[in-house]
Structure 1
Amino acid sequence: MTAFPRVLFDEAHSESWTIRRDVAETMNPGHPDDSGYVRAAGLLRGLGHSVDAHVEGPLTPGLLSARDVLVIAHPSADRWERTTGLGSPVFPVEELDAIEEYVRDGGGLVVLAEYEQEKYGSNLTELLARFGVGVEHTLVRDPGSAHNGVASWVLGTPRNASHDSRSGQDLLAGARRACFYRAGTLTVSDHATVLFATSPTATPANRPLAVAVRHGEGRVVVVADSDLFGDDSIGDYDHAALWGNLVTWAARVPAVKSSAVKSSAAEGSAVGSAEAAEDAEDAGARAEFQALKDAVEAIRPLQAKDGSIQEESDRERAAELVSKIVGHVERLAPRFPHDAAYLAAVVADFGKWVDQGLGVPDFLDALDAFHPDTQRVDGLEHLVVFPMYTQNGTTFRHIEAVWIRTIWPEWLAELERTRYDNPMFVPIAFEDFTSGYDTNSAVLFPETVAVRETPARFTWGGIFADREAARFRVVSGAAAATLKLALPPDAARLIASQELAQDTFVLWDLIHDRTHSHGDLPFDPFMIKQRMPYWLYSLEELRCDLTAFGEAVKLEREGVPHARYVQLAILFDRLFRFPITGNRVRNYDGLGGQLLFSYLHRNDVVRWTDNRLSVDWDRLAEGVADLRGEVEKLYRDGIDRSKLAHWLAAHQLVATYVAPNPASVWAGGAEALPVEGFPKAVVDAVLPDEFPLSMFYEALRRKLGDVVDSTKGIRA
């Protein structure tokens, strides 16, 4: 199973459509667009799907099992249509059985039928009957609801109940306008979801034109017209979005990858022996790391907050444990030859710590030797051992041991090289960790390490995209269910796939992280060292996310597959997880999410009606861009303001959409603030919860608080 669907377009049964331009030109030299699904295939590829044509041989279980969606587009005898000329439009019973079994086991099927279906000499109706769908032998006419006044070019009526209730997905998200050119109608069973139907004025009236059906573990989509996704029509109305929705919804749901050690696939063979040796080596390394963890956990209770061993009675035991830790690091070091200098420095720093009496540890030499930023290779692993605190985890500088893996796929490396230069950014994933990371921490930052002096500059920062993705999936899935939000199919796939979500967060983090140093900045973007009201932090983090969203919109237009998912991840994580995570004392990330929700809600992009959340997907990008414009104007104007004036303007911007605490001094404006003692006095006037949660978020926190808490220490 891959993150993106693998689509097989059948052309071996005398189909009337092809995804190959040269074949379309051969089929229909005068008008190849009337025989091509070339643009439809290209659109799917732009969404990340792989698309291939099946041009020879039967559809067998083995062939189908390697694909997530099968598309069958109007098989026909040559008497009626220009076809691929390959095979027969009649599927043998063995192929019908194989297709049905494939769908029942989780595969997806998209079938494009036609008007007067019976005349084309195929047995498509026999195939569809297995899924409870029929195609009526008719031609719909609707002069009152037609494209360009052509009665047989029927404008479909979207059904309000176009949601797949079982998966909670909205198959018509951003796609509620469609024209069916010379369509038949469908018959369906009660469990089918009707997406489009004929209008009450059509002949025949109120009949299904497009339906979605579940069969076993799989999904089937049937459309009563094949022209609407052809090259000459897919640009009409919302056809492109509809095509993407339908294929993505039908695709096999991503399977959860097992983290178990690989088993030998060919016992006794050379390959099998090599895999067995690799497995044994891996198992040995993991056992050694577990022993390292045990020693680290044993020394932690002996350490003070600053990492020192303060009780003299504990020092002998601590020295013994340090010796064990060093031994485990030395035995693991050969697995990480690229970190040889660093791990040698770790051993040396442990030795100096013991020799100097186990006071406050100093691992500056080891920190100076560790440079994952110069080794951004996809899959490269590092053993990281430092006395350190973990952000959003523990404030104690205890010894931690973390086994990490670099995430650096070529598509991301290319974007970083050519567009979003960020040499310090190191996306990583956990292999294993000690208890300081059995927390909410999702970063590995050098500034957290215990050192004798702060280095002149830090050169790297690690972000655990696997943890970000895993907790996003848990919270967003629960929030969507709780709020009855009907998800677009791509959003549902994002929540279902750890691999897709992880890659999505890597791209989001890349753009977000570099944005701190780009734009019209009235202050040092790394303002964690500065004393200022916390809503300034909120706006800076939100600015970076709004920028990442805007860049993702551009990248989506350019065909970068993950870009659409970045937009969804930013929206859901900001709206669902950020506001209800952590306590309410200067919760700057939470406030950023509150502001985004309130702005979108105020502008009717997000709606909370009848205890159901909905999103106007067509206006989402515009709404986010408008808020970004307001924040960027605040920043530009801030360059010409005094510090206090900028802080007040920022408070006013937030307060325009998020109601401040009724007891707020800042809400009273400059006149209410202390005159003397700037900046301390005015910062002290900030309430711990200057912008409390709305009633919406208070209710959401009660419902999802346990879900958020469950993501502490989450593993992918």
Structure 2
Amino acid sequence: MQNLSPSSAVAADLPVQPATGHAQHPAWLRLKDAVEALRPLQSKDGSIDLSAVQRHTVDPLVETVIGAIEELSPLFPHDAEYHAALVSDLRKWGETGYRTPDFLDSLLAFQPAAKREDGLQHLVVFPMYTQNGNPNHNLEAVLLNVVWPEWLSELERTRFDNPMFLAITFTDFTAGYDTNSAVLFPETVSVSKAPDRFTWGGIFCDREAARFRAVATSAVQQLGLEIPEDAAGLLADQFRAQQTFALWDLVHDRTHSHGDLPFDPFMIKQRSPFWMYGLEELRCDLTTFKEAVQLEAEGNEHARDVQYAILFDRMFRFTVTGDRVRNYDGMGGQLLFAYLHKNGALAWRDNKLTIDWSRVAEVTNGLCREIEDLYRAGIDRPKTAHWIAAYELVSRYLTPHPASTWAKGPEALPLDIAEEKALKKALCDAVLADEFPLSMFFEALNKKLSGVIANTRGITGTNLKGVAA
């Protein structure tokens, strides 16, 4: 066991490493500049109001984007069809007078999951919002690399089939990604109609790894937590952490469509109480943890790292990241911590956190079983009853807000509303913005980590912002 010293995993003034790949190509720099010049001209839906902006201001910027794409495209021969469709969509956007952009043709032509090769690079340009980043449909550009080592490919091929999943890393990006966004999802692109199905989804494992390392290292230090040497090694190694997140994300993403699934609030676009989203995300992470325990027993060298990453990221970063308005990931992190605490796998005494490393896997898997049992029983329940059962599970371990209506039990809820849609709306409206407030422990941790978390905005595997490489 060891306590991390400030120098072992964090260097306060580590210089930002230079961009790599094609990030210094003159055409890419022109493309970035043109996209940033277009950004303030675009409305929330991506359109440009030509009654307020002179067309002779807009057209040259779009032509610069087109010219840069055409110059860069030979460097990405696997994206040739996509880039041709992209140029066509940009020209059609101009022909409409820059109304709400429709990039359906180029979206359909972009098929990165069809060729998953480790180190393969892509130039991606779309009008899009960036999840947890920019909510507007601005034109964005990103250079990225695919992370697909042979060991991960073999696991996907033989055990965790997920043909749409891509682990990716940043090379460079425009301002919409200089944020907390760590995903590239097709559903964020501005199109006239959604495709019948999506065929890919990318997660930036370098950003996830870098902010995990920064926040977990700070938490371990400030809580006086002794961790195994291999856990300390993970926190000190960006490449190793990226590989860890690639495996975590592969299994997590797959789990959304596997198991006993009475109702998946992410797949079925319906409003639900926020703890339903929290339990679904936690179920996917705990399933990944359970699979990692099995993989470790089989000798997989990355499996133990996945367990550490899930525990530290869930308990330390997720709990205190974001606001307190229906923060479902925050709730899930608190739930994991409370479950481990109430089952004797961790303790907070004398202002020091301790984890019983001999029991933590067993107890964590116990919470996974409780959520799986909830889902399995939910198949035979009406949706309202399932929501109530889920609330009861969470509130066994987390204390609800004293003013909560839900905490008073079913008799306090408006269950006499006959019309189903109105009933569901009333039940969701009865949920407090902060239904499960932070415990005193996490209130204190929030103050300690808030600066570190804020500093991870825009972090990547090369722009480490104080995290040692």
In 1, Cα distance between the equivalents of 2:265 and 2:425?
20
In 2, Cα distance between the equivalents of 1:555 and 1:379?
25
**8 Å Cα contact 1:521/1:636 also seen in 2:** yes
- Normalized per residue, the structure richer in strand is 1
Larger relative contact order (CA 8 Å, sep ≥ 6): 2
User: How far apart are 1:701 and its partner, in Å?
Assistant: 0.5
User: How far apart are 1:289 and its partner, in Å?
Assistant: 1.1
In structure 2, relative to structure 1, the CA distance for the partners of 1:579 and 1:536 (3 Å cut) is same
Residues 1:611 and 2:351 aligned together: yes
SS in 1 for 2:142: strand
Q: Which residue of 1 aligns with 2:432?
A: 687
In 1, Cα distance between the equivalents of 2:219 and 2:7?
12
In structure 2, relative to structure 1, the CA distance for the partners of 1:641 and 1:680 (3 Å cut) is same
Q: Aligned ranges for residues 32-181 of structure 1 at < 5 Å? A: 163=2, 166=5
Q: Which residue of 1 aligns with 2:467?
A: none
In 1, Cα distance between the equivalents of 2:460 and 2:87?
29
User: How far apart are 1:439 and its partner, in Å?
Assistant: 0.5
User: How far apart are 1:531 and its partner, in Å?
Assistant: 1.1
In 1, Cα distance between the equivalents of 2:49 and 2:268?
30
Count of aligned positions: 452
TM-score of the pair, normalised by structure 1: 0.61
In 1, Cα distance between the equivalents of 2:314 and 2:427?
28
User: How far apart are 1:530 and its partner, in Å?
Assistant: 1.2
User: How far apart are 1:287 and its partner, in Å?
Assistant: 3.0
SS in 2 for 1:679: helix
Q: Aligned ranges for residues 31-430 of structure 1 at < 5 Å? A: 163=2, 166=5, 259-260=17-18, 286-314=25-53, 315-430=55-170
1:477 to 203, 217, 221: 217
2:443 to 685, 698, 707: 698
In 2, Cα distance between the equivalents of 1:261 and 1:672?
57
Report Cα offsets for 1:8-39 as digits up to 9, x if no partner: xxxxxxxxxxxxxxxxxxxxxxxxxxxxxxxx
2:454 aligned partner, one-letter code: D
User: How far apart are 1:312 and its partner, in Å?
Assistant: 2.0
Residues 1:712 and 2:452 aligned together: no
Report Cα offsets for 1:190-233 as digits up to 9, x if no partner: xxxxxxxxxxxxxxxxxxxxxxxxxxxxxxxxxxxxxxxxxxxx
**8 Å Cα contact 1:362/1:451 also seen in 2:** yes
Q: RMSD over aligned Cα, in angstroms? A: 1.9
In 2, Cα distance between the equivalents of 1:528 and 1:691?
24
User: How far apart are 1:524 and its partner, in Å?
Assistant: 3.6
In 2, Cα distance between the equivalents of 1:572 and 1:329?
41
User: How far apart are 1:316 and its partner, in Å?
Assistant: 2.7
**8 Å Cα contact 2:31/2:64 also seen in 1:** yes
Q: Aligned ranges for residues 490-529 of structure 1 at < 5 Å? A: 490-524=230-264, 526-527=266-267, 529=269
SS in 1 for 2:396: helix
User: How far apart are 1:678 and its partner, in Å?
Assistant: 1.0
The answer for unaligned runs of 5 or more in structure 1 is 1-161, 170-255, 263-281
User: How far apart are 1:291 and its partner, in Å?
Assistant: 1.5
Residues 1:621 and 2:361 aligned together: yes
2:49 aligned partner, one-letter code: Q
SS in 2 for 1:383: strand
1:288 aligned partner, one-letter code: A
User: How far apart are 1:361 and its partner, in Å?
Assistant: 0.3
In structure 2, relative to structure 1, the CA distance for the partners of 1:164 and 1:312 (3 Å cut) is closer
User: How far apart are 1:290 and its partner, in Å?
Assistant: 1.7
User: How far apart are 1:487 and its partner, in Å?
Assistant: 1.6
SS in 1 for 2:353: strand
In 1, Cα distance between the equivalents of 2:172 and 2:6?
33
User: How far apart are 1:167 and its partner, in Å?
Assistant: 7.3
User: How far apart are 1:595 and its partner, in Å?
Assistant: 0.2
- Asked which structure has the greater CA Rg, the reply is 1
In structure 2, relative to structure 1, the CA distance for the partners of 1:436 and 1:528 (3 Å cut) is farther
**8 Å Cα contact 1:517/1:525 also seen in 2:** no
In structure 2, relative to structure 1, the CA distance for the partners of 1:164 and 1:569 (3 Å cut) is closer
User: How far apart are 1:556 and its partner, in Å?
Assistant: 0.4
In structure 2, relative to structure 1, the CA distance for the partners of 1:284 and 1:395 (3 Å cut) is closer
**8 Å Cα contact 1:578/1:590 also seen in 2:** yes
**8 Å Cα contact 2:28/2:72 also seen in 1:** yes
In 2, Cα distance between the equivalents of 1:165 and 1:353?
53
In 2, Cα distance between the equivalents of 1:405 and 1:528?
31
In 1, Cα distance between the equivalents of 2:4 and 2:456?
27
**8 Å Cα contact 1:380/1:405 also seen in 2:** yes
User: How far apart are 1:288 and its partner, in Å?
Assistant: 2.1
SS in 2 for 1:456: coil
**8 Å Cα contact 1:512/1:547 also seen in 2:** yes
Q: Which residue of 2 aligns with 1:3?
A: none
1:465 aligned partner, one-letter code: C
**8 Å Cα contact 2:183/2:204 also seen in 1:** yes
Moved more, 391-400 or 288-297: 288-297
In 1, Cα distance between the equivalents of 2:383 and 2:76?
49
SS in 1 for 2:167: strand
In structure 2, relative to structure 1, the CA distance for the partners of 1:662 and 1:288 (3 Å cut) is same
**8 Å Cα contact 1:168/1:486 also seen in 2:** no
User: How far apart are 1:571 and its partner, in Å?
Assistant: 0.1
**8 Å Cα contact 1:486/1:614 also seen in 2:** yes
In 1, Cα distance between the equivalents of 2:299 and 2:7?
27
1:377 aligned partner, one-letter code: E
2:81 aligned partner, one-letter code: A
1:567 aligned partner, one-letter code: Q
In structure 2, relative to structure 1, the CA distance for the partners of 1:608 and 1:355 (3 Å cut) is same
Q: Aligned ranges for residues 457-476 of structure 1 at < 5 Å? A: 457-476=197-216
In 2, Cα distance between the equivalents of 1:706 and 1:325?
37
- Normalized per residue, the structure richer in helix is 2
In structure 2, relative to structure 1, the CA distance for the partners of 1:341 and 1:168 (3 Å cut) is closer
User: How far apart are 1:669 and its partner, in Å?
Assistant: 1.4
In 1, Cα distance between the equivalents of 2:3 and 2:24?
46
In 2, Cα distance between the equivalents of 1:549 and 1:308?
44
**8 Å Cα contact 1:402/1:433 also seen in 2:** yes
Report Cα offsets for 1:238-275 as digits up to 9, x if no partner: xxxxxxxxxxxxxxxxxx9995479xxxxxxxxxxxxx
In structure 2, relative to structure 1, the CA distance for the partners of 1:681 and 1:164 (3 Å cut) is closer
2:405 to 655, 665, 669: 665
User: How far apart are 1:168 and its partner, in Å?
Assistant: 10
In 2, Cα distance between the equivalents of 1:318 and 1:565?
49
In 2, Cα distance between the equivalents of 1:630 and 1:327?
56
Q: Which residue of 2 aligns with 1:436?
A: 176
2:36 aligned partner, one-letter code: E
Residues 1:636 and 2:381 aligned together: no
2:424 aligned partner, one-letter code: P
Q: Aligned ranges for residues 520-599 of structure 1 at < 5 Å? A: 520-524=260-264, 526-527=266-267, 529-599=269-339
2:256 aligned partner, one-letter code: H
Report Cα offsets for 1:82-101 as digits up to 9, x if no partner: xxxxxxxxxxxxxxxxxxxx
1:532 aligned partner, one-letter code: S
**8 Å Cα contact 1:296/1:400 also seen in 2:** yes
2:99 aligned partner, one-letter code: G
In structure 2, relative to structure 1, the CA distance for the partners of 1:165 and 1:648 (3 Å cut) is closer
In 1, Cα distance between the equivalents of 2:155 and 2:182?
23
User: How far apart are 1:286 and its partner, in Å?
Assistant: 2.8
**8 Å Cα contact 1:442/1:468 also seen in 2:** yes
**8 Å Cα contact 1:522/1:635 also seen in 2:** yes
